[in-house]
Chain A
Amino acid sequence: MSGLEDLYREIILDHYRTPRNRGELDTPPATKVDGHNPLCGDEISVYLMVEDAENGDDAIVTDIKIGGQGCSISQSSASMMTNAVIGKRVGDVRAVSRKFKSLMGIENVDLQAGDDEVDLEDLEALQGVVKFPVRIKCAVLGWNTLSSALDEALDPAE
């Protein structure tokens, strides 16, 4: 069961059992974006509050909530994601997202100068997922949905 223990690390199970920042935010003012994994039907909703959106990368993520259902990997990844982005500059959130996706072995991540220094904290625990390629989609579901939510929050006209 060696592989499985790498996948289901205690911290992951903890976030799965007690997900952080679950719930909803009022829209507006918050932005809501739904993401889904067409393979398994998992659906996730990201509610995002961004302050001073006109500042672009310098805008601040003031709140985030997660709705929907998913497996332990997608749920724990989304839960950790909320902790990793609350209170951060949008530019820094995007850097964490790039770093995390490259940790997941996603190709074509456009890593930028400084991304190396990003501390993924708890999210490092998800690196075991790489050994289970079918589950990578689960781990990045929340992140892809967050990216769409950021785009929408910064440019609501689109």
Chain B
Amino acid sequence: MLSIDAVRKEFPLLAERTIDDARVVYLDSGNTSQKPRRVIDAMTEFMETTYAPINRSSYRLAGEATDAYEGGRKAVARLINAPSADEVIFTKNASEALNLVAMAWGRTNLSAGDVVVLTEMEHHANIVPWQMLAQERGIEIRWIGLTDDGQLDLSNLDELLDGAKVLAFTAMSNVLGTLPPTQLLCSAAHAVGALAVVDACQYVPHNVTDVQAWDADLVAFSSHKMCGPTGIGMLWGKMELLDAMPPFLGGGNMIDTVTFEGFTTAPVPAKFEAGTPPIVEAVGLTAAVEFLEELGMANVRQHEMALTRYALDTLNERFGDDITIYGPDNVEVRGGVFSFAFRDLHPHDVSQVLDETNVCVRAGHHCAKPLMKTLGVQSTTRASVYLYNDEADIDALADGLEGATDIFGL
């Protein structure tokens, strides 16, 4: 069990920041998470004591900085049960990791008519890079549809996967909270010889992640959604795949040698890390992973399951037909993300009114416009919880919605 009071004390913004003399009710962690003190301190301390370039200079300080940066790789590998830290590539964010996959692997292995299968609940980050390939070389994109309760409709999976080269899907929807059967999907992809690419951006921060149990091929996620800093994301991949892939971006650090005639690449992971990487961010990320390990990801998931149940029940009981919450009701297959329609109110107006009581939610399409079309809406209001939220936060959300009714005279 998590002690939320104790957890919240670790987050300066949640513990100390006030707006209009009241605390902030942060329900937008699906967007980006708040940062614990130890992450902030680790980055500051590193810059004050150990900051230097990595992998380029031979003085002792540079060695210490390199070790610190590589420590981030080891921490991430532990968190997702990767066989080797060298399989973890640091990028700018999850979007860049997915672009890396589409550009480096896709450009090498896909040509006109080849099929990439996505789901209707993907984030734009796992759609647009593939659409760029479709524009560039005419690959075909097929879509796994949704059931009425917002789960993947796998009834025609075999048909969709027939002849596919890639299955790329989210391990948790950032709009519906849905947790698809990741392991099953990876094995279905492999059964037809397709690559299994997992967008684990929403999954890793909230669940025990085991990329080996999934038997995924490539997995993308972001530090900033899991208590770490912005500016650093991750791509994990099976070594033999990464080895065979050409580089994505070119420049310093990613080469073995460069001549007037051309270049050869450094081994993985450096091959995919052109230029000066996010060194300070890797140090912050290490502290974030240690924080998550201390809490225990199983405990985090358990806490969020209970809170998700509470949220679904509270909102449905208090608002009945006035609220439509999208996604599955079964918390075994959903995480703590609640996208909803409230009366006839536009999400902008809902979030505006909630902001009056410092309840921070997101209103819009959540970078999933195709999914909005499937749901038959233009946008939704979305509340999303994390390890520092509790029932009082959900109550504040519900109270705020009550206020919206008054203002719009509904």
Q: How many residues of B contact A (CB 8 A)?
A: 18
Selected from A4, A39, A43, the residue in CB contact (under 8 A) with B353 is A4
Determine whether the beta carbon of B353 is less than 8 Å from that of A138: no
Determine whether the beta carbon of B356 is less than 8 Å from that of A43: no
Is A70 at the interface (CB under 8 A from chain B)?
Answer: yes
Whole-angstrom distance between the Cβ of A147 and the nearest chain B Cβ: 22
Whole-angstrom distance between the Cβ of A5 and the nearest chain B Cβ: 8
A7 — which chain B residues lie within 8 A by C-beta? 352
Nearest chain B residue, comparing its CB with the CB of A72 = B349
Given A69-B378, A71-B348, check contact A8 B363 (CB 8 Å): no
In the assembly, what is the distance between CA of A72 and CA of B404, in Å?
12
Is B262 at the interface (CB under 8 A from chain A)?
Answer: no
Task: Compute the total of residue contacts between A and B using a CB distance below 8 Å.
Answer: 48
Of the listed residues A3, A41, A69, the one surrounded by the most CB atoms of chain B closer than 10 A to its CB is A41
In the assembly, what is the distance between CA of A135 and CA of B347, in Å?
12
Determine whether the beta carbon of B379 is less than 8 Å from that of A41: yes
Is A73 at the interface (CB under 8 A from chain B)?
Answer: yes
Determine whether the beta carbon of B408 is less than 8 Å from that of A40: no
A25 — which chain B residues lie within 8 A by C-beta? none
Determine whether the beta carbon of B379 is less than 8 Å from that of A40: yes
In the assembly, what is the distance between CA of A7 and CA of B352, in Å?
10
In the assembly, what is the distance between CA of A144 and CA of B363, in Å?
22
Whole-angstrom distance between the Cβ of B31 and the nearest chain A Cβ: 13
Q: Is the interface of A mostly helix, strand, loop or mixed?
A: mixed
B372 — which chain A residues lie within 8 A by C-beta? 41
Among B370-407, those with CB < 8 Å from A are 372, 378-379, 403, 407
B363 — which chain A residues lie within 8 A by C-beta? 40
Among B318-369, those with CB < 8 Å from A are 346-349, 352-353, 356, 363-365, 369
Is A115 at the interface (CB under 8 A from chain B)?
Answer: no
In the assembly, what is the distance between CA of A40 and CA of B378, in Å?
8
Nearest chain A residue, comparing its CB with the CB of B369 = A41
Among A54-86, those with CB < 8 Å from B are 69-73, 75
Determine whether the beta carbon of A71 is less than 8 Å from that of B349: yes
B403 — which chain A residues lie within 8 A by C-beta? 1
B349 — which chain A residues lie within 8 A by C-beta? 71-73
Determine whether the beta carbon of A40 is less than 8 Å from that of B352: no
Q: How many residues of A contact B (CB 8 A)?
A: 20
Selected from B352, B356, B378, B407, the residue in CB contact (under 8 A) with A41 is B378
Determine whether the beta carbon of B379 is less than 8 Å from that of A135: no
Selected from B346, B352, B356, B364, the residue in CB contact (under 8 A) with A70 is B346
Is A130 at the interface (CB under 8 A from chain B)?
Answer: no
Determine whether the beta carbon of B379 is less than 8 Å from that of A42: yes
Is A120 at the interface (CB under 8 A from chain B)?
Answer: no
Is A13 at the interface (CB under 8 A from chain B)?
Answer: yes
In the assembly, what is the distance between CA of A1 and CA of B407, in Å?
10
Given A13-B409, A40-B379, A69-B378, check contact A135 B353 (CB 8 Å): no
Among B292-325, those with CB < 8 Å from A are none
A13 — which chain B residues lie within 8 A by C-beta? 408-409
User: 0/1 per residue, B120-154, Cβ < 8 Å to A?
Assistant: 00000000000000000000000000000000000
In the assembly, what is the distance between CA of A76 and CA of B365, in Å?
21
In the assembly, what is the distance between CA of A41 and CA of B124, in Å?
13
In the assembly, what is the distance between CA of A138 and CA of B348, in Å?
9
Chain A interface residues toward B at CB < 8 A: 1, 3-4, 7-8, 13, 39-43, 69-73, 75, 132, 135, 138
What are 15 of the A-B contact pairs (CB < 8 Å)? Answer: A1-B403, A1-B407, A8-B408, A13-B408, A40-B364, A40-B379, A41-B379, A42-B348, A69-B346, A71-B349, A72-B348, A73-B348, A73-B349, A75-B346, A135-B348
18 further contact pairs, Cβ within 8 A, besides A13-B408, A72-B349, A132-B352 = A4-B356, A4-B407, A8-B407, A8-B408, A40-B348, A40-B363, A40-B365, A40-B379, A41-B365, A41-B372, A42-B348, A69-B346, A71-B346, A71-B349, A72-B408, A73-B349, A75-B346, A135-B348
